[in-house]
Amino acid sequence: MTTTSLPANPVPHPVPQPAPHALRPKTSASDAPHGPTGRMPAPAPRGPVSEALLGALRAGGPDDALLAPVTGALAQAGLEGPEAVEAVLSEDVQLALLVMYELHYRGVDGVDDAWEWHPGLLALRARVERPFEASLRARVPQPACEATDAAGVAERLFALAAQDDGPSLSRYVAKKADAEQARELLALKSVYQLKEADPHTWAIPRLSGAPKAALVEIQADEYGGGQAGRMHAELFARAMRGVGLEDCYGRYVDAVPAVSLVAVNTMSLLGLHRRLRGAIVGHLAAFEMTSSIPSRLYGNGFRRLGHDEGTTWYFDEHVEADAVHEQIAGRDLAGRLAEEEPGLRDDVLWGAAVCLAVEGDVAAWVLERWQRGASALRVPLAGA
Amino acid sequence: MTDERTPQVTVTACPDGPLLVRGPATILDADGRPVPRRRATVALCRCGGTAVPPWCDGTHKVNGYRSGPEPQDGSLS
Ligand code: FES
């Protein structure tokens, strides 16, 4: 077995780690159980909460009795007191949250789909979501805004995105990243990008009128305008294959650090709660507004490293698509929603600020590691 | 009177940004040849700075482009 270089486990009682998936040979997408339509492979636990959760979910159909160890592990996880806003960001708890949310997307290998709406499990998820939302609120202050009309709110959103002074991962990739770092980037992004657009789609039935039409207009384009091969998630899978990665859904979850799981879980949190629909709309607007120019830089980096058009297509597509999407998202989606439901305006702006903050945290994490010659992943990618 | 059931072409002038074109418009190049449209809604660059003409690539956000005040007759939304 290949030796791994896992970072020190942040939980007080490390649990035995099964061989991480990132190092386990897998078959190709075409004949593997985890093809593009497949479930997320069950990840390796990162501590007592995720270990108890995966153990319970994989032990049988929904049953309160199976959840007792999860309840016990959560009680010990520090999610109640003042330290909760930190504790909820641990590798262990974020992985557990990712698994619970995944039941609403593609499902998890070996887990009965009936768990999705099991009240006992939902109650446990809420015990994690409360401190998680509190930690986001502590991390990201509410942006101020004078405007109440669509154009004014759109202008404020563009200004927030323009002021974002987070470190530029795309500039580093354009100029400096080596081949292995380019692969790490795609592995890191794959947890979200292989389900690109899905968390924001939750908002569609929660909106009406112009904002709904605008969101559908954006999402239809994200999903390839009716052509499966043009779906952005598919283009991303193609880029992964182009750099020699496996494109199976959830394939690299074990390699991805908590900071990146936080970014994905944030989208699920905002997307799955109707009361936070303003925030998921703002999140999408900020995501689109910080995409076209970085996508060009990412594409340049992959071209510099000698990758072909099929591999850079994903980034090239986003240059053009997101220049369209950012206008629709700013004006017709976020702006109009704030205008039509004034009570949501602050949530829209906060959601945008959350996006910039958590995505910025991922970029800072990656750059800090790359700049000192370390891997940005928990488990370096096996092979060349 | 326009038939509401026929999709209309609309062009939205985005402040400090591109022209957003919706509906069945054919975009022609300088020689009159149709430019292939790869999506239902497209953004035409009007700042002159794009690297993927005639489409907008977001460059207007970093080259200081200002579209100026909009006409007051409400013809642009
Ligand atoms: S208007 Fe966007 S790049 Fe010119």
Q: Is B42 in the pocket of ligand 1 (CB under 6 A)?
A: no
pTM of the complete model beyond 0.80: yes
Within a domain: B2: no
Summarised one tens digit per residue, pLDDT across range B43-59 is 999 999 999 999 999 99
A336: closest CA of chain B, how far (Å): 12
pLDDT of residue A77: 96
Q: What percentage of chain A carries pLDDT values higher than 90?
A: 87
Any CB–CB contact under 8 A between B57 and chain A?
A: yes
ipTM above 0.85, yes or no: yes
List where CATH 1.20.910.10 sits in chain A: 150-371
Within a domain: B31: yes
Distance from C-alpha of A323 to C-alpha of A328, rounded to nearest angstrom: 9
Pick from A38, A67, A51, A176: nearest CA to A125: A67
pLDDT reading at A384 higher than 70: no
Q: Which residues of B touch A324 (CB under 8 A)?
A: 20, 39, 41-43, 56
Residue A6 makes CB contacts below 8 A (sequence gap 6+) with A17, A20, A378, A379
Any CB–CB contact under 8 A between B62 and chain A?
A: yes
CATH of domain A150-371: 1.20.910.10
Any CB–CB contact under 8 A between B56 and chain A?
A: yes
Interface test with A, best of B21, B50, B57 (most A CBs within 10 A): B57
**Domain range for B28:** 7-66
Question: Considering its fold, how many domains does chain B have in total?
Answer: 1
Within a domain: B55: yes
Query: Higher confidence at residue A13 or residue A363?
Result: A363
Q: What percentage of chain A carries pLDDT values higher than 70?
A: 90
Residue B20: CATH number of its domain:
3.40.5
Residue A19 makes CB contacts below 8 A (sequence gap 6+) with A1, A44
Q: Sorting pLDDT into bands at 50, 70 and 90, what band is A153?
A: very high
Of A162, A296, A331, the CB nearest to B57: A296
First to last CA, chain B: 20
Pick from A218, A220, A222, A253: nearest CA to A236: A222
Within a domain: B48: yes
**Cβ proximity of A381 and A192 under 8 Å:** no
Within a domain: B71: no
